[in-house]
């Protein structure tokens, strides 16, 4: 009661202290489909912790008090360090404790799938601290190309003990890595990189170089090392560049400033210059793009997972609010048109989860040698650009509609307490970094040129063909068009079409009939362009109940 003026009522409560996995049958079913033997105990622990009010508070604080660059000390000496709020460190400590980073590479079949689900759950709590976690996860395959560095660093990169101290690698309990490709004159077209690498001798870590130049984006600059691209005598090459050298001296990396970003506030993204910084060759000279893309391909998986996680959280917030807020005499979740919007968002969220986890399975199987006929490798090549393109592209549109379900409250941040606004600001990022939408669509065209692509797609889409002749006709038409080739200007159209068919095929296999029916009617039979256009006859009640059984009837 506000004495003397008014009583506050008809406002929804915070969505707090919930187990994010327990309330998400779409994720649980996708996990059962992709990894039937998985014991969900550890993931339930992640779901409980990431849905807790305590972690939500850390997420708020890490964003409300963003990182600060300390370029110089008070005596004028360069120190090039970034200071973070204690909540940032708390979140990172939790992310590593839950093994969201480099542990799956040595953990055997299924570990990448379990980690993918954990990554999605953590994203619901706070996505931006996961930038260095994701890069640390992704760097392992690329790092293998320098055996000496891999053997010295891999144990630290896989350690579940976060260590935020600025110390040489052999004095830390856990290590993290980032990546530097993008320069001012080109990010997508990294062949335009001008940063130079001059050979400087050989040592225990292999061929050592001096790196001179800049990077226009280098996120998480407090990481212990980076994979970067630079021009060597033999062409654009990939290098391992540590912040501190093996003898403990600070490498010549000057952090010029931190980016002032739309969202992603808890994460520091910097501009850096290298003044003859020491770095070691990873892989062959002139093969830098392929080498660093071994890392980029994995971070693209995380972009798809991250956007699917953000969608799920935005949906939960919308359902939670609509289950409590009254308008025109009944709760919003009882208003027929709002039910159409909520159900449509639920479909999109479940389809994103399905596609992202299918990609995680393809990564898992192809990495663990559990792929005798090469099908999983082919699907991985196709789904990496497809899932990154489509899920991330849908993310911003999704966040806007979910925000609208909260009305004006959705748009208000209130010092970081307005989680929906934070999600909305975060959403476009996964679509831009690690290859923006067009680059992904063009990458799909490259993947489709592989001899095994059409066969892999046909195999993956077979369950959809089995569920009705008109769907079979859609699949055959798409496969026919894939066969005929596609010109660049139509690459997005093809990517959208294939992504929707693949999502439908997955929903057929592990979602409910109500979800599958509504998805195909709204996305395959029709091409709805805003949410809330589900046709008459769709089982809205069943779809909403599945998405939020705890909060909405």
* Contacting positions for ligand FAD (CB under 6 A): 178-182, 186-189, 217-219, 261, 264, 269, 429, 432-439
* Helices (H), ranges, 98-239: 111-125, 130-143, 147-158
Strands 206-219 and 196-203, by their bridges, are antiparallel
Q: How far apart are CA 448 and CA 156, in angstroms?
A: 37
We find the least distance from the C-beta atom of residue 195 to ligand FAD, in angstroms, to be: 11
Residues 6+ positions from 449 with CB-CB distance below 8 Å: none
Category of 108 on φ-ψ map: left (φ > 0), alpha (ψ -120 to 50) or beta: left
Query: How many helices (DSSP H) and strands (DSSP E) are in the chain?
Result: 18, 11
How many Å apart are CA 430 and CA 307, to the nearest integer? 7
Q: Are 153 and 169 in contact (CB under 8 A)?
A: yes
Beta bridge partners of 231: 196, 236
Report the residue closest to ligand FAD, judged by CB. 187
- Cα distances from 335 to residues 144, 250, 267, 327, 500, in angstroms, run 56, 61, 39, 9, 28
**Least separation in angstroms between CB 331 and ligand FAD:** 38
User: Least distance from C-beta 258 to ligand FAD, angstroms?
Assistant: 10
Q: Which is nearer to ligand FAD, 350 or 426 (CB)?
A: 426
Q: Which is nearer to ligand FAD, 126 or 367 (CB)?
A: 126
Q: How far apart are CA 502 and CA 17, in angstroms?
A: 34
Residue (of 306, 312, 303, 352) closest to 503 by Cα position: 352
Query: Least Å distance between CB 431 and ligand FAD?
Result: 9
User: Quick count: other Cβ atoms within 10 Å of Cβ 2?
Assistant: 7
Q: Cβ of residue 226: shortest distance to ligand FAD, in angstroms?
A: 8
Distance, in Å, from the CA atom of 404 to the CA atom of 530, rounded to the nearest integer, reads: 12
Give phi and psi for 232, each to the nearest 5: -105, 180
In this complex, which beta carbon is closest to ligand FAD, that of residue 193 or of residue 522? 193
- Asked if 224 contacts 177 with a C-beta cutoff of 8 angstroms, the reply is yes
Please, what is the minimum distance in Å from the beta carbon of residue 430 to ligand FAD? 10
CA atoms within 13 A on the CB side of 394: 35
Q: Return the number of the residue (439 or 465) whose C-beta is nearest ligand FAD.
A: 439
What is the smallest separation between the CB atom of 460 and ligand FAD, expressed in angstroms?
26
Q: How near is the Cβ of 497 to ligand FAD at its closest, in Å?
A: 19
Beta carbon of residue 180, minimum distance to ligand FAD (angstroms, whole number): 5
Q: Which is nearer to ligand FAD, 27 or 179 (CB)?
A: 179
Nearer to ligand FAD by C-beta: 390 or 433? 433
Dihedral sign of CA atoms 401, 404, 406, 410 in order: positive
Query: In the complex, what is the shortest distance from the CB of residue 313 to ligand FAD, in angstroms, rounded to a whole number?
Result: 20
Nearer to ligand FAD, 166 or 217 (CB): 217
CB nearer ligand FAD, residue 229 or residue 524: 229
Residue 268 or 515: the one with the smaller Cβ distance to ligand FAD is: 268
Token reading at 162: 């976060």
Question: What's the CA gap between 414 and 141, in Å, rounded?
Answer: 42
Per-residue three-class SS string for 470-513? HHHHHHHHHHHHHHCCCCHHHHHHHHHHHHHHHHHHHHHHHCCH
List the structure tokens of 381: 């090549």
**Which residue lies nearer to ligand FAD by CB, 131 or 356?**
131
User: 263 with 128: CB under 8 angstroms?
Assistant: yes
Query: Is the CB of 56 or the CB of 430 nearer to ligand FAD?
Result: 430
Q: Which residues contact 18 (CB under 8 A, 6 or more apart)?
A: 51, 316, 550
Q: Is 222 helix (H, G, I), strand (E, B) or coil?
A: coil
* Secondary structure letter of residue 249 according to DSSP: P
Angle subtended at Cα 254 by Cα 252 and Cα 258, rounded to the nearest 5 degrees: 150
Judge residue 11's burial from the number of C-beta atoms within 10 Å of its C-beta, 0-12 exposed, 13-18 middle, 19 or more buried: exposed
Q: Which is nearer to ligand FAD, 223 or 405 (CB)?
A: 223
Whose Cβ is closer to ligand FAD: residue 272's or residue 538's? 272
């Amino acid at each position: 009661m506000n004495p003397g003026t008014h009583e506050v009522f008809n406002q929804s409560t915070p969505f707090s202290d919930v187990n994010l996995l327990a309330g998400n049958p779409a994720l649980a079913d996708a996990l059962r489909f992709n990894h039937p033997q998985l014991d969900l105990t550890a993931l339930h622990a992640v779901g409980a912790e990431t849905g807790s009010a305590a972690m939500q508070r850390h997420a708020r604080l890490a964003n409300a008090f963003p990182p600060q660059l300390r370029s110089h000390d008070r005596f004028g000496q360069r120190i090039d360090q970034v200071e973070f709020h204690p909540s940032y460190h708390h979140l990172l400590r939790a992310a590593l404790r839950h093994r969201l980073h480099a542990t799956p590479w040595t953990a055997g079949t299924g570990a990448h799938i379990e980690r993918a689900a954990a990554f999605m759950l953590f994203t619901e709590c706070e996505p931006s601290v996961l930038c260095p976690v994701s890069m640390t996860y992704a760097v392992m395959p690329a790092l293998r190309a320098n055996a000496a560095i891999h053997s010295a660093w891999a144990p630290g990169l896989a350690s579940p003990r976060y260590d935020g101290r600025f110390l040489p690698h052999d004095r830390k309990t856990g290590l993290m890595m980032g990546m530097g490709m993008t320069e001012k004159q080109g990010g997508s077209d990294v062949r335009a990189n001008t940063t130079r690498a001059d050979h400087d001798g050989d040592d225990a870590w292999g061929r050592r170089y001096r790196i001179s130049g800049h990077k226009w984006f280098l996120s998480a600059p407090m990481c212990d090392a980076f994979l970067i691209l630079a021009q060597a005598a033999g062409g654009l090459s990939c290098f391992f560049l540590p912040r501190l050298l093996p003898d403990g001296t600070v490498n010549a990396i000057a952090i010029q400033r931190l980016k002032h970003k739309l969202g992603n506030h808890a994460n520091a993204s910097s501009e850096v210059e290298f003044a003859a910084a020491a770095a070691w060759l990873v892989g062959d000279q002139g093969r830098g793009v392929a080498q660093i893309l071994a890392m980029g391909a994995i971070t693209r998986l995380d972009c798809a997972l991250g956007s699917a996680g953000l969608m799920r959280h935005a949906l939960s917030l919308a359902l939670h609010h609509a289950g409590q807020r009254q308008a025109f005499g009944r709760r919003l979740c009882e208003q027929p048109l709002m039910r159409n919007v909520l159900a449509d968002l639920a479909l999109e969220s479940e389809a994103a989860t399905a596609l992202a986890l299918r990609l995680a399975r393809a990564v898992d199987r192809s990495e663990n040698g559990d792929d005798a006929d090469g099908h999983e490798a082919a699907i991985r090549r196709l789904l990496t650009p497809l899932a990154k393109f489509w899920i991330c592209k849908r993310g911003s549109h999704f966040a806007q509609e979910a925000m609208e379900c909260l009305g004006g409250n959705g748009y208000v941040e209130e010092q970081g307490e307005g989680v929906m606004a934070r999600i909305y600001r975060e959403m476009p990022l996964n679509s831009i970094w690690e290859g923006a939408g067009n680059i992904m669509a063009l990458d799909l065209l490259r993947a489709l040129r592989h001899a095994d692509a059409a066969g892999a797609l046909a195999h993956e889409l077979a369950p959809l063909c089995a569920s009705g002749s008109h769907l079979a006709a859609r699949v055959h038409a798409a496969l026919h068009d894939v066969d005929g080739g596609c010109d660049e200007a139509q690459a997005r159209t093809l990517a959208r079409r294939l992504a929707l068919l693949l999502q439908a095929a997955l929903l057929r296999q592990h979602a409910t009939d109500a979800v599958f029916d509504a998805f195909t009617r709204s996305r395959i039979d029709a091409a709805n362009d805003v949410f809330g256009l589900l046709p008459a006859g769709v089982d809205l009640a069943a779809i909403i109940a599945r998405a939020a059984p705890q909060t909405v009837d």
